[in-house]
Amino acid sequence: MATMLENYQELRNAMEKQESPLTTAQIWQYQELIYRIGVLETCQLYAKIAPVTDNINQMVTHYQLVDAYFQCLTQERRYGMAPDEKTQKQRDTSHQNLCRVMEDYRKRLASFAPGSHEQYKKEIGRVIGTFLPVWAAYRNTYITIMKTKEDAA
């Protein structure tokens, strides 16, 4: 099964190959695809470079980097089509869910004491894996990304 990143890359490639001019809605989706691909690639990098160590300072530095990035993702690019009341409620609820995910991992990692060198890397991988689907759902309240390349074309 393809990953979210692979799906987005496939959609981007399909849109780039489209011969007819992109519609305004497709341009919104295209720029959102580029943004999401960048976020997913950054998170992939964070998971890859997570330290495998018992050095708490290295773990804290890496965690602060990831956490600061996630905090920015909850605040940036808050634009899209003007929402009706229902859409605004969905955005607010989705944002609250995203903030709850952050509160949860912050609480868990505030007292983190690794039992092995690999434990931090595994835990930050779980954090990233939990955060991204909720973030994508939040982003969909602003700009919906179609599921297949046929839908995007």
Grouped pLDDT means (10 residues each) for the chain, 153 residues: 89 92 90 96 97 92 97 89 87 96 95 88 96 96 71 44
* Angle between helices 56-75 and 119-140 in degrees, nearest 10: 0
Residue 79 has a pLDDT of: 79
Question: What is the reported pLDDT for 31?
Answer: 94
Token pair of 101 as six digits: 């995910």
**pLDDT of amino acid 24:** 87
DSSP 53: S
Distance from C-alpha of 98 to C-alpha of 85, rounded to nearest angstrom: 20
pLDDT of residue 124: 96
Q: Taking Cα atoms as reference points, which of 20, 10, 17 lies closest to residue 146?
A: 10
Residues with Cβ < 8 Å from 14, sequence gap 6 or more?
A: 149, 152, 153
Give the pLDDT score at 47: 97
pLDDT of residue 78: 83
